[in-house]
Structure 1
Amino acid sequence: MLWSALLPSPAHSPAPRTEAAQRALATWALQFTPRVALVDEAVLMEVQASVRLFGGKRALRDRVLGEGREVGVAQLAWAPNGLAALALARAGIENGFKRELDALLDTLPMATLSATHPHRLTLEHIGCRTLGDVRALPRGGMARRFDQHLLKALDQAYGLAPEVHEWVTLPEHFEERLELMARVEQAPALLFGARRLLLVLSGWLAARRAGVTAFTLKWAHDADARARARAARSPSARPLIARPRCIVRAAMAYTIWGCEPGPVYRGRSGAGQHAALHAAVSSPLPDAARHGLSHELGLVLERLSARLGPQRVLRPVLCEDHRPEWMCRWQLAALPLPRHGAPTTGLPQPAFLLPVPLRLLVREHRPLYQGELVLLLGPQRVEGGWWDRVGDEDRMRNVVRDYWVALSPQAGVVWVFQTRLDESACWFLHGHFA
């Protein structure tokens, strides 16, 4: 497993501001994985299933690191489980895979594991300074003296017990608030806060697979108590449509100073209009050809054959043949299609055929494939090919087979056949049902 722990900017600010930063960071992290959890002051992500989607571990790490700094990540770490990643992040260590996890965690201060905090004084009095010291204590004595939570947390951090987290749910509507570190009186200085809000909005949109057509930035002013009350009732707000960063930069002066003069101390962003994004189509065929218009498809195949060469543009053709290996063949796209299709069969046909049938072991006249097969449907005899010569060789592709739909204890429903031309009948696996 691959886990990442993200720590928001350090807590020299009030607790409500830290909690807001943690929630914003969790919303941003949902674009990488739906498995995002809030644990103590950190945000944990389980990203094992997302590695291939983002181009590998290195590319995923670079993106999380690059964008994370801009949304307020002070420290991040990677480890095989969530609690280990959190402990490494607190210790300032990013890579939890450079050494064995046990050896790496044993050297960390025991304060990096939250379960040790209630027992810190007792553990220090008996000489514990690191997680390795705590782990070396007798488990029986720890179970009697301390609560079970400490032992459970140690086992989870070292990968000896599974973790259970409550995953963050994606909000239906986006509205995020950002408390600025100081009063801002110059419009360019607000670009930092605006960019952070836009990055969180981008993460929310990516998690929802949606795009935004309009959003609103609101700035709360702080000239004096009267202006603050007036700003709370009617903060500066302008809807911004498309190209968020460019429009924010171009319209910043008008948006901020057009309604309420004075310093700005808070920013808020909301998505007004959003819609689902359609998946990008990478097919070289135009829309009309993809929707089955034969005249458009013919023109496209003709152009592709002229540009790429006729030998590189092929189309599948169904053949009137009961033998599964030769029910379909590939021919040049420039050639006309034959006026026949595949023959109808009695038994269900599998979705996946093996390129070469796999010979099966037989025990007491029963074929074996990940257990003894149970024959469900069949037999269906397939016979033919006495006319089909193999190239210039003096042999034919003649087959006589009895096909069965069978059930494997481990592999599920499969397609097998028994030969009839050999001296001794043999069983082969030929396909899997989806």
Structure 2
Amino acid sequence: MWWCALLPETCGPCPIDAAGLALWALQFTPRVAQVEAAVVMEVSASLRLFGGAAALAGRVREGAAVFGAVRLAWGPNSLAALALARTGQAWVDGRTLADQLDGLPLQALAAAAPHRAALGRMGCTSLGALRRLPRAGVARRFDAGLLEALDRLYGQQAEAHEWLRVPEHFDARLELAYRVDTAPALLAGAQHLLQALAGWLSARQVGITAFTLHWAHDALRSRAAGEGDSVTVRTAEITRDPVHLGRLLAEHLGQTTLAAPVGDLRLVAHECQPLPGASASWLPEDATDGEPLPRTLERLAIRLGAGRVVRPVLREDHRPERMTDWVPANRPLGAAPRGDAPSGPQPGFLRPEPLRLLVLNHRPHYGGELQLLLGPQRVEAGWWDRDEARGEHGHTARDYWVARSPQAGVLWVFQTRDAEPAWYLHGFFA
């Protein structure tokens, strides 16, 4: 398992509590917990999703920087990662867990903090020295929680966490370190809340079209100023991008005048909706960055020749090998045909030409005797398709079957309806 520990900044212009940081962390993994005023997250299952450990570490570090001087570290368990974060150390590959931790001071483990003075008088100033003390004596002199925490830190006892549950609604507060007199200056604190909102939206797999930033006036305000005010921001499209939301909020705050100094912020999300699915096409038809696909195909057709750059189009034909035509890619396409859909199952792969099968005892064979599962599906068409000059005709009369081969799996085969019927393999089911 691989863990990341994040220590929130508790001082500065916009101190963030662990709850806000935990909401932000939900965009990386659902396994987020609050431990000892810090946030830990188990990211083993997220490494591949985010492109590996290095890429994920970069994204976490970059995002955590928005919250101020947030210290973070990685480790094989949550307490180890937290101990390294408290002391500003980094995990070193190739070293054992004991080698990583033994040299750390006692303040790296929160359970040892109440006993630092007593342990110091005994000459015990590091985690390694504490681990080497007789366990029976430590248990008698100090509370049992110290040994349990030490065992969890060194991986000798399993950890148990209460994972953060994603709230149904987003309603987060932030107390500013000092009073703010101008509305644009509220954006610095609001950015932290927007980052937490982005994590919540990602965990809920939704976006928003509106949110409201509330602010509370200082207690020493005049009575005419009121308790506070708010501004509601609406978006034209569903989004969860904190950068875009921050830009919109900045525009609203730039036109707002505060009636009194502000010391407390509150962000509430409205109108949450599922995000529309993004196209996963390898070559999208429309491009927002760069050249659209149709223009690219036009240039390729000019360079390589119109007959070398083609695209498939559907035809209204019941014969499987005639259902698709390949036309020049730069040719304008009309409306797709609206013929009847095939009445039976269709294979994922068709052979360029049907393969005649061996028949023994009136049973077709391909990697063994075929077991006919489903059929027949009769196809009879193409009597009009003739080329007298070449002596060719496209008349087709077949009975298709779904069959199972002992070695090749599920196949699509047909039997001709001629005077001397024969069996052919035409496709494979994935």
1:250 aligns with 2:290: no
Map 1:301-320 onto structure 2 (within 5 A): 316-317=349-350
| Contact 2:103/2:127 (<8 A) preserved | yes
Query: Which structure: greater helix fraction?
Result: 1
| Contact 1:37/1:167 (<8 A) preserved | yes
Map 1:368-379 onto structure 2 (within 5 A): none
| Contact 1:21/1:72 (<8 A) preserved | no
1:226 aligns with 2:222: yes
1:245 partner amino acid: G
Deviation at residue 12 of structure 1 after TM alignment: 7.6
Map 1:4-23 onto structure 2 (within 5 A): 4-10=4-10, 21-23=17-19
Mapped to 1, the partners of 2:191 and 2:135 lie a distance apart of 50
The one of 168, 174, 177 aligned to 1:178: 174
The one of 275, 278, 296 aligned to 1:277: 275
The one of 129, 152, 155 aligned to 1:156: 152
1:3 aligns with 2:3: yes
Counterpart residue number, 1:241: 235
The one of 127, 130, 140 aligned to 1:131: 127
Mapped to 1, the partners of 2:226 and 2:119 lie a distance apart of 52
Mapped to 2, the partners of 1:322 and 1:246 lie a distance apart of 68
Q: When the two structures are superposed, what TM-score results if normalisation uses the length of structure 1?
A: 0.65
3-state DSSP of counterpart to 1:4: strand
The one of 75, 91, 95 aligned to 1:95: 91
2:48 partner amino acid: R
Deviation at residue 123 of structure 1 after TM alignment: 1.6
Mapped to 2, the partners of 1:164 and 1:127 lie a distance apart of 32
| Contact 2:34/2:40 (<8 A) preserved | yes
3-state DSSP of counterpart to 1:251: helix
Mapped to 1, the partners of 2:328 and 2:157 lie a distance apart of 59
Mapped to 2, the partners of 1:74 and 1:3 lie a distance apart of 16
Map 1:370-389 onto structure 2 (within 5 A): none
| Contact 1:71/1:200 (<8 A) preserved | no
Q: Deviations over 1:101-141 (max 9, x none)?
A: 21110010012111212333332222100000001112233
Change in Cα spacing, 1:12 to 1:271, as seen in structure 2 (3 Å) is closer
Deviation at residue 179 of structure 1 after TM alignment: 1.7
The one of 136, 143, 161 aligned to 2:139: 143
Change in Cα spacing, 1:183 to 1:11, as seen in structure 2 (3 Å) is closer
Mapped to 2, the partners of 1:221 and 1:303 lie a distance apart of 69
Map 1:73-112 onto structure 2 (within 5 A): 74-95=70-91, 97=93, 99-112=95-108
3-state DSSP of counterpart to 1:225: coil
Change in Cα spacing, 1:168 to 1:223, as seen in structure 2 (3 Å) is closer
Counterpart residue number, 1:343: 402
2:350 partner amino acid: V
| Contact 1:78/1:96 (<8 A) preserved | no
Q: How many percent of aligned residue pairs carry the same amino acid?
A: 43
**Mind listing any 5+ residue stretches in structure 2 that lack a counterpart?**
237-243, 286-312, 331-346, 358-363, 372-395, 410-422, 425-430
Q: Deviations over 1:366-385 (max 9, x none)?
A: xxxxxxxxxxxxxxxxxxxx
Counterpart residue number, 2:206: 210
Mapped to 1, the partners of 2:323 and 2:141 lie a distance apart of 77
| Contact 2:315/2:324 (<8 A) preserved | no
1:51 aligns with 2:47: yes
Counterpart residue number, 2:375: none
Mapped to 2, the partners of 1:248 and 1:296 lie a distance apart of 54
Q: Deviations over 1:168-219 (max 9, x none)?
A: 1111100111222222223442222222221111111011111111111122
3-state DSSP of counterpart to 2:124: coil
Q: When the two structures are superposed, what TM-score results if normalisation uses the length of structure 2?
A: 0.65
3-state DSSP of counterpart to 2:73: strand
Query: What is the number of equivalent residue pairs in this alignment?
Result: 328
Q: CA RMSD in A?
A: 4.2
Q: Which has the larger radius of gyration?
A: 2
Change in Cα spacing, 1:341 to 1:75, as seen in structure 2 (3 Å) is farther
